[in-house]
Amino acid sequence: MAYVVTDKCTKDFKCIDDCPTEAIGPRQGDPAAEKVSQVFINPNDCADCGSCAATCPQGAIFSEDELPEDKKQFVETNRAYYCK
Average pLDDT score, the chain: 96
CATH of the domain at 61: 3.30.70.20
**Structural domain boundaries, residue 41:** 3-82
Percent of the chain with pLDDT over 90: 96
Instruction: Determine phi and psi for 5, rounding to 5 degrees.
Output: -95, 135
pLDDT of 14-54, one tens digit each?
A: 999 999 999 999 999 999 999 999 999 999 999 999 999 99
Residue 1 has pLDDT above 90, yes or no: no
Check residue 79 and give its pLDDT: 96
User: What is the average per-residue pLDDT within 49-66?
Assistant: 97
Rounded CA separation 36/18 (Å):
21
Instruction: Determine phi and psi for 29, rounding to 5 degrees.
Output: 95, -20
Total number of domains in the chain: 1
Residue 84 has pLDDT above 80, yes or no: no
